[in-house]
Amino acid sequence: MVSERFERLFGRLVVAFKQHQDVPRTTANVVELGAARWVLEAARTEIAAERVRMAPHPLHRRNVRKVNVSENDLARLQVFGVGSGSC
């Protein structure tokens, strides 16, 4: 079963990506874009750590329930290496 922490982190990643994917690259937005990138990287790092905690070795994997993600979100998240079925 997917942990609540993993679901929260995954949700945070999706929200952050949606909020900042189409922000114009103007001087006024440089700081905001940097912060958004940091949030995305931090969430990705935490998700990777949570994956390791949930399944520390490929031979000891537990069944994990699937999370409903739209095709658009899935395609966007695969750019970040999340949701690709690699866990």
- What is the model's pTM? 0.41
Residue-range definition of the domain harbouring residue 41: 4-79
Q: Which residues of the chain have pLDDT under 70?
A: 1-3, 6, 13, 20, 23, 28-30, 32-33, 36, 55-87
Report the pLDDT value the prediction gives residue 46, as an integer from 0 to 100: 80
Amino acid letter for position 74:
L
Nearest to 18 by CA among 10, 26, 28: 10
> How many domains, the chain?
1
Residue 8 falls inside a structural domain:
yes
CB atoms within 10 A of CB 83: 20
Report the pLDDT value the prediction gives residue 87, as an integer from 0 to 100: 45
Residue 85 falls inside a structural domain:
no
